[in-house]
Chains A and B, each alone.
Chain A
Amino acid sequence: DQQVKQNSPSLSVQEGRISILNCDYTNSMFDYFLWYKKYPAEGPTFLISISSIKDKNEDGRFTVFLNKSAKHLSLHIVPSQPGDSAVYFCAAFSGTYKYIFGTGTRLKVLA
Chain B
Amino acid sequence: DAGITQSPRYKITETGRQVTLMCHQTWSHSYMFWYRQDLGHGLRLIYYSAAADITDKGEVPDGYVVSRSKTENFPLTLESATRSQTSVYFCASRTDRGLGTEAFFGQGTRLTVV
Contacts and interface: CB of A to CB of B under 8 A. Distances in A.
A43 B108 contact: yes
Interface residues of B, number: 25
A36 B104 CA distance: 10
Contacts, number: 60
Most chain-A Cβ atoms within 10 A of its Cβ — which of B42, B44, B108? B42
Interface stretch (B14-22, B33-41, B74-82): B33-41
Interface string B19-30: 000000000000
Contacts of A51: 99-100
A43 B100 contact: no
Interface of A: 6, 31-32, 34, 36, 41-46, 49, 51, 89, 91, 93, 95, 97-104
Interface of B: 31, 33, 35, 40-45, 48, 50, 58-59, 90, 92, 94, 99-100, 102-108
